């Protein structure tokens, strides 16, 4: 069965403090993609500035979105603080809540462009020294999440 479920997820640092730097942005790129795979999802692209981030995520129908975002936010803040990344006195802290919007397959390129241009949209909040995300692309129609009772085709 084919599924194409895409979401645009956005959240901010606590108090919109400029906490995200290049080291933390690189860490978040790796960390969030790893968590996504554990939750049967893929982070296809991300856009970041010092105060907030945007993700384009593809999920499996069984992915629990609230759990995914909770792991993104809570897990990333915890691990970044353990590793002492970020610029804040109290380390990385995320604001409460998030925005989650569905994305039509036809709108994927527009959302990707929007994420890539975050530093241009918020020039005073661009992350110095961060070249941006390396996006992921998918082969439409391939089964990506196989259950324990299914063999690879």
What's this model's pTM, rounded to 2 decimal places?
0.86
Full set of structural domains in the chain with CATH: 5-124 (3.30.70.1290)
Residue 51 pLDDT exceeds 60: yes
Residue 89: predicted pLDDT: 64
Task: Evaluate whether 51 touches 18 at the Cβ level (below 8 Å).
Answer: yes
Tokens of 67: 């759990």
pLDDT in tens, 70-86: 999 999 999 999 888 76
Tokens of 11: 């959240």
**Percent of the chain whose pLDDT exceeds 70:** 87
- Please, what is the average pLDDT of the chain? 89
The three-point CA angle 32-34-39 to 5° equals: 90
């Amino acid at each position: 069965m084919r599924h194409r479920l895409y979401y645009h997820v956005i959240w901010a640092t606590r108090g919109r403090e400029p906490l995200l730097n290049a080291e933390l942005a690189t860490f978040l790129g790796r960390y969030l993609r790893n968590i996504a795979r554990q939750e049967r999802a893929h982070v296809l692209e991300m856009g970041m500035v010092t105060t907030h981030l945007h993700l384009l995520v593809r999920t499996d129908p069984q992915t629990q979105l609230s759990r995914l975002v909770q792991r993104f936010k809570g897990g990333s803040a915890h691990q970044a603080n353990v590793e002492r990344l970020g610029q804040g006195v109290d380390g990385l802290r995320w604001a409460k809540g998030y925005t989650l919007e569905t994305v039509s397959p036809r709108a994927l390129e527009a959302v990707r462009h929007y994420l890539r241009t975050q530093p241009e949209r918020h020039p005073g909040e661009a992350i110095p020294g961060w070249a941006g995300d390396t996006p992921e692309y998918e082969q439409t129609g391939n089964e990506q999440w196989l259950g324990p009772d299914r063999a690879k085709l």
